[in-house]
Every structure is written in structure tokens, then in C-alpha cells.
Chain A
Amino acid sequence: MTIEKIDAKLCDGCGVCVNSCPTDVIRMDEQRHKAVIRYPQECNNCDYCELDCPRHAIYVSPERHSPLVVGW
């Protein structure tokens, strides 16, 4: 149901996906200069990051998946 991977080998750190994500799932790893999946729980499967990535480095899975969120 969620963003599955950002291929670090393909990612050139352009940051387009960070702005594409409406729910702040993706952040930049400033040291490595790569986009990383920081908050996967908030992915709403809109596919915008995958559609916008100029390097085709992102994959959003369509598989059925229901996250189990526990209190603590």
C-alpha cells in the first residue's frame, strides 16, 4: 500500500519527490545527498513521487496492506 523503495543508485538528490509528497513521507538525507523514506506510515499511495521522479528511482506498491498501529 505504500512507497516501497527509493533506489539510491538511481537517485541523484534533486529533491523533486520531497515536494511532491503531500504527507511529508520523503526527506533528504543531506549528508548522502539522497532522498530517503523517512515516514512511510503516512504514505497515502498517491503515486505522485513515482510519477514525478525524473530518474524513475521510486516504486510505490499497489499490494494490499493494512498497517497495524499500536499505542506504544
Chain B
Amino acid sequence: MPRVVETDVLVLGGGVAGCSAAITARDQGLSVTLVDKAYVGKSGTTAAAGMRFSVFNPEFGDNFDDTMRMITEGSGYLNDRVWTEICIKESWQAYLTMAGWGVEFPVEDQREGVFVPKNKVDSPFASARIIRRGVPPPLRRQCEEIGVTIMDRITVTDLLKSNGRVVGAVGFQLTDLEPIVFRAKATVICTGSWSLRTVGAETHNMTGDGQAMAYRAGAELTGGDMHSSHHGSAEYPSWRGGRAARAIYRRFVDAKGEVIPYGFEVGPAVDLAFHRGRGPIYHDLDAATDDEIERMWQRQRNSDDMESRRIGFDPRKRGKHMISGGQDCVVGAGIWPAGTDCSTTISGLFAAGDSLSIRSAAFGGLPSGNIMGVRAGNGAVKYATEVGMLPVADEELAGALKTMLEPVQRKGGFSPRWVTQLLLNTMVPYYVLLIQRGDRLQAALTMVEFFRDHFVPGLYATDPHELRLAHETKNMVLGAELCLKACLFRTETRGSHYREDYPGQKDPEWLAWIKEREDNGQMKLWKQPVPREWWPPRLKAEQGGTR
């Protein structure tokens, strides 16, 4: 018999959302087990956070309607307005909560205090400074102090179900392959975004494991049709610096020195310039003002100074810096929230942070991660108290364990590293997800479906490390399929979804979210219309009375 861990609340993933959920549930007296495939306190996107913590506070002169409008227009009117309001209005409480848990918000300028004035940052809100990689360790300490059971370096591969409810999960130890069965009254998925292992993005750990498990358990997902374009340095593609400089100062020029105009997002404009043969493209620091250079330098000192010094990048030296072609690094599909308690469409399963799709509603990653985590923790407590521990059928457990260990029990097969490489070669070039066209999406999908049908069932691992890779690879292939199908489905251009064959935004036809779910072994996609009261004001007026 494998080792069994029983817990009231099981939290998968130890970033800001996971720790917030775990602390919230534990504070109410329940037993909580927090599992991470790496190490809680150093894992996930939270570990990479190092810029600012957005806060909304009317006392600072922040205007709610302006803030809501900015997020709404930025999302192409697809943001969930209920969640946007929650994320904006609860950000101040998130700041107080995190500070109470020991997260440091340093004072660097005595005149400014903790908060960076809004005229000093590239957002219309005040924000608190955070220390790069300084957020997760206090969260871990808080978990430990109040008695959350932390289990590091455990790869969870699938959820366990009983009569349609999630009742736990199975995983294995990274050091010795020991299988572990988690039996839980409520399970919370906080495993981060669904990204591909793109060079230059430190998100290689976020392989959508939680979303993939939820999908296999029958939960509804959404998204996958919006993208995040990532540009790095052409000279040092894996160097993550320069990002701060590119965020602050956005002048890009093409090979002839012509400036590339951009809208809300820099990415698509630069990707289009590449696509039209205007490369190489440069980040042009020669035209920056002294004040902009100073801000870039200050930001670098507070974030990626070591890495930048190593390659000799210093914005004060100015110059034109060749950037790499657009790559997509985030698949974007997330679990559909069934309520503001972060429940999902499957009983017993909750989700928070980047794993939960609140559809571009977030107001800063860290505060929104905390807000969702706290809500998921409260939701899980309520559910666990009402429902209690349910039994797991022997066949269900045996099936999950068999699936988990299959790659390491095979005598041969396909290397997870190789399949990952093939997947990246298929998905990452800009002409697939960033500048899309139906025929290219279909070509990529044909290959991804081949990987799914031919390679994934034969993934082969020789040790626990490779077994983790095998499951991550399987999840990335699923993410790619969800993403390509959603892109093909959305026959218009909106936000970061750019279709050469369907130019222009189609309202109200595509004022809709794309939902995805497994249905008898098939991936089912359908439209969920955005409520009419959330339509753009002009459209509502035009369509008035035609309902």
C-alpha cells in the first residue's frame, strides 16, 4: 500500500496564491497540507516577482471608475467585471494581509515612504515596492509558524474523484519515486500559469499541471486564445534582464531606423514589424531622456542588476539593443471559476492565482494572487466542513497510480526532453500564436495532435526526475492543444489575439469567452457570451432595443 496523507484541505502549489489559501484555511483550525513540486518559498512566478505591488486606495486619489475602465479597455471588454472590482477594491487589504505575514515592503526614498507615487511609475496607481525574491520566504515562514504541513519536491500528477467530487490527488517523491496518496476534504489548485519552456523565460516550472489535472477531472476551462508576447535580447536570448528597461521605455526601431508605433501592448506591434520583414528590431535607448534613463537604471538596480552587469548592460551607456523575435511563453488557459469563492465546476475543487481564469481581471499579479488565495482558502474551509472526508474507490486509486508510474515502468519509448523540444519548435515561433492564420494554426494543431496520440502514450522515464518531465510534457502538449483550438475558434482579432485571416474586432458576436471541457474523451469548445451590461457603452446604445 502506498503512503496515505490525510488532510482537511490540500493545496497544490506554493506561490502567493497557494500560501495565502493554506494560511487562510489553517487559521480557521483545519489541517492543511501544502504540496509543491519544487520548494515552497522559492517556487513559481511569485519567486520571480521583484517589481511592485499595486494598491488601490481612494485616499491616494485613486479613482475606481478610471481604474476599471483601464483594465476593461485593455482586455478588449473581456474582463470579468465582478472579479475586476474584487481585485481592485481588495488590493489594499491584500497589502495589509501580506505585510502582516511578514512580507517586506521596503522604504527606499524617505520622502516617498513605502509607496511609489503614481507619477513615478508606469501605471496610474500608487504601488508598494517589494524585494526581488523577497516575497515567498516570509509566506513559507508564516505557513510553518501556524502549522501548515509543507511537503516539498513532490510531483502531483492527477486528482482523485469519488461520485463526481474531487477527494484528493496522487503524487510521487522527486528523490525516491515513493508514491503518495493525498486524501482531502477539499483541494485547491494554485500551480501557476500554463507556459511553454521558452528560452529566456524563467517560467519553465509552470507547465499547467493543475489546469491539466482539472481538465482531466472534467472541470471547465477558459482562455488559451489570448497571448503574452515575450521579447528578449537577440545577443543573449536567455538573459532575463532588460525587461525592466523595455517596460519603462518603449521606443523600438526597425532596421531602417523607423519607429514602430504600438498600442496598449508593445508585443504585437513589434511582432508585426518582424513579420513584415522590417527586422532586426532594436530597443533604442539613444532617444531616451535623462529622466527615463535614470528610471531604467534605478529599476535595474532593484531587480536584475547582477545578470545585467554580467553581460555589460547598463542603460546609462544608451545604444540600440537588438531584441529577439516574438515568442509566446504563456498558454493562458485557466480553470473557470464557478463563484467568487474560487470554486470550480467540479465539487471539492477550488483554484486560485494564475491557475484560475478571471479573464484579464487581475489588478497586479501578487495582490490578485493573495485575494484569490484567501477566497479559495475560505471556500475550501466551508466546503470541507460541510462535506467531510469521502472514500476513494479502489479502481480510481489504482488507475491514477498506474497512470502516474507508467512512464518509468516502460522498457523504452520517447524521451520527454525530445518531445518538449518538438513541441516548442512547433508552438513558439511568432507566426503560430502571435501573428495567427487559420492554416498555420491548423498545421501546428496537426502536429500537436500527433504528439498527443503517438508520443505522449509512450513517454519513457528512467528516474524520478524524468518521470516529472514526462508528466510535465504531457501537460504541455494538452495546453498546446487547448490553446490552438481556442485560437482557431475565435474568428476575429481582439486584444493580444491577432488573426491575419480575421482582421477586426467582431462585436457583439465575439464579446464572448471560449470555454473548454473534456466530453467523452473529446475536447469540447463553446462560447459563453459576456453579459450585455458589460458591453462597450457605444455598442449597448447602438443595439438598444434590438434584444
Which residues from chain A sit less than 8 Å from chain B, CB to CB?
A: 1, 19-24, 38-39, 41-42, 44-48, 50-52, 62-66, 69-72
Check A41–B306 contact: CB distance below 8 A.
no
Task: Tell me what chain B mostly uses at the interface: helix, strand, loop, or mixed.
Answer: loop
Is B406 among interface residues, defined by CB-CB distance under 8 A? no
User: Are A41 and B204 closer than 8 Å at their CB atoms?
Assistant: no
Residue contact A39 to B465, C-beta cutoff 8 Å: yes
B205 interface residue per 8 A CB criterion: yes
Q: In the assembled complex, which residues on chain A have CB atoms less than 8 Å from the CB atom of B43?
A: 22
The residues in B between 92 and 120 inclusive whose CB is less than 8 angstroms from any CB of A are: none
A47 to chain B: closest CB distance in Å? Answer: 6
B468 proximal to A (CB < 8 A): yes
B446 interface residue (CB < 8 Å to A) = no
Contact A64 B47 (CB under 8 A): no
- Could you give 22 example pairs across A and B, Cβ below 8 Å? A1-B238, A19-B38, A19-B39, A22-B202, A24-B174, A44-B197, A44-B201, A44-B203, A44-B204, A44-B205, A45-B202, A46-B202, A48-B42, A48-B47, A48-B133, A50-B306, A62-B236, A62-B238, A64-B235, A69-B415, A69-B418, A69-B421
Bound: A41/B38 CA distance, A = 17
Interface residues on B, range: 35 or more
Cβ distance B206 to chain A, nearest Cβ, rounded Å: 9
Could you tell me which residues of chain B, from 138 to 174, have a CB within 8 Å of some CB in chain A? 152-153, 174
Does A22 contact B236, Cβ atoms closer than 8 Å?
A: no
Q: Does B310 contact A (CB under 8 A)?
A: yes
Residues of B within 8 A of A41 (CB): 417
B153 surroundings in chain A (CB, below 8 A): 24
Check A44 against B415 for contact (C-beta < 8 Å): no
Which chain B residues numbered 206 to 241 have a C-beta less than 8 Å away from chain A?
235-240
User: Which of A22, A23, A66, A70 has most chain B Cβ within 10 Å?
Assistant: A22
| B residues whose Cβ falls under 8 Å from a Cβ of A | 38-39, 41-44, 47-48, 133, 152-153, 174, 197, 199-205, 235-240, 306-307, 310-311, 414-415, 417-418, 420-421, 465, 468-469
Q: CB distance B415 to A72 under 8 Å?
A: yes
A20, B469: Cβ atoms closer than 8 Å: no
For the complex, give the distance between the alpha carbons of A70 and B44 in Å. 28
Closest to A24 in B: B465
Find out whether the CB atom of B133 lies under 8 angstroms from the CB atom of A51.
Answer: yes
Q: For A52, what are the chain B residues with a Cβ–Cβ distance below 8 Å?
A: 42
Which of B47, B201, B204, B311 makes the CB contact (< 8 A) with A23? Answer: B204
List 8 additional A-B contacts (Cβ < 8 Å) besides A19-B41, A22-B42, A50-B306: A20-B39, A22-B38, A44-B204, A45-B239, A62-B238, A69-B420, A70-B418, A71-B418
Complex: how many Å from CA A48 to CA B38? 13
Chain B residue, CB-CB nearest to A45: B238
* Residues of chain A contacted by B420 (CB below 8 angstroms): 69
Chain A to chain B: the 5 pairs with minimum beta-carbon distance, closest first: A44-B204, A46-B202, A19-B39, A22-B205, A1-B238
